[in-house]
Amino acid sequence: MDQVFAPWRIEWIRREDKNPRVEECVFCELPTWEDDRNNLLVAENPHAFVLLNNAPYNPGHVMVIPHVHTGDYRDLTDEQLLGHAHLKQRTFDALEQSLAPDGFNGGLNLGDGAGGSIDDHLHTHIVPRWNGDTNFMPVLSDTTVIVEALEETYALLHEAFASQEGATVPADSSAVQFT
């Protein structure tokens, strides 16, 4: 029998405070924190931001999250919808450039019954997929196998977002900005 050996994960599993800085909503608060790279916030525009999933199904698993706090997609204004959609387009471009997947899974978990862990602030998951990839571990054994360090994926995506037309990169190399 093959084994998955990832002893460095135990520190994350055993941590006492799962979200030490969060007072209300992690998705509302995270964009205001210092150190985007450490917080996995890789790109943003005035209406949404891109966050690496810290328990990814695959390398490059991101969430595109509106800045407005709502769990109902219908609450977004036309301007917010368009900003969210534009950032999803840029995310597909950055993922294709940096990771060269064969396809994507993407979608929203809306409402408590949909299985998302945060249901009061909507977010769109985008998961790169490769032909022959059969990541069955989360489905069969409630186990996540992370095959690439988040820091490496962040660096690849940050560079890909930064190379897009209209992107600006702050001097401290935090999240790439779009207007």
If the chain, 179 residues long, is cut into consecutive pieces of 10 residues, what is the mean pLDDT of each piece? 67 62 81 90 96 88 96 95 97 97 92 76 94 64 69 88 87 80
CB 84 within 8 A of CB 76: yes
Tokens of 49: 């931001």
pLDDT at 63: 96
Architecture of domain 50-171: 2-Layer Sandwich (3.30)
Quote the tokens at residue 18.
Answer: 């799962």
Cβ atoms within 10 Å, residue 101? 20
**Does the global pTM surpass 0.85?**
no
**pLDDT at position 179:** 82
pLDDT of 91: 97
The pLDDT assigned to 73 comes to 92
Please state, in angstroms and rounded to a whole number, the distance separating the CA atoms of residues 56 and 139.
Answer: 13
Burial per residue of 60-96, b for 16 or more beta-carbon CB atoms within 10 angstroms, e otherwise: bbbbbbbbbeebeeeebeeebeebbebbbebbeebbe
**Residue located via tokens 């002893």:** 7
Q: Alpha carbon of 49 to those of 15, 85, 122, 174, 175: distances in Å?
A: 26, 11, 12, 12, 9
pLDDT at 131: 87
Whole-number pLDDT of residue 90: 97
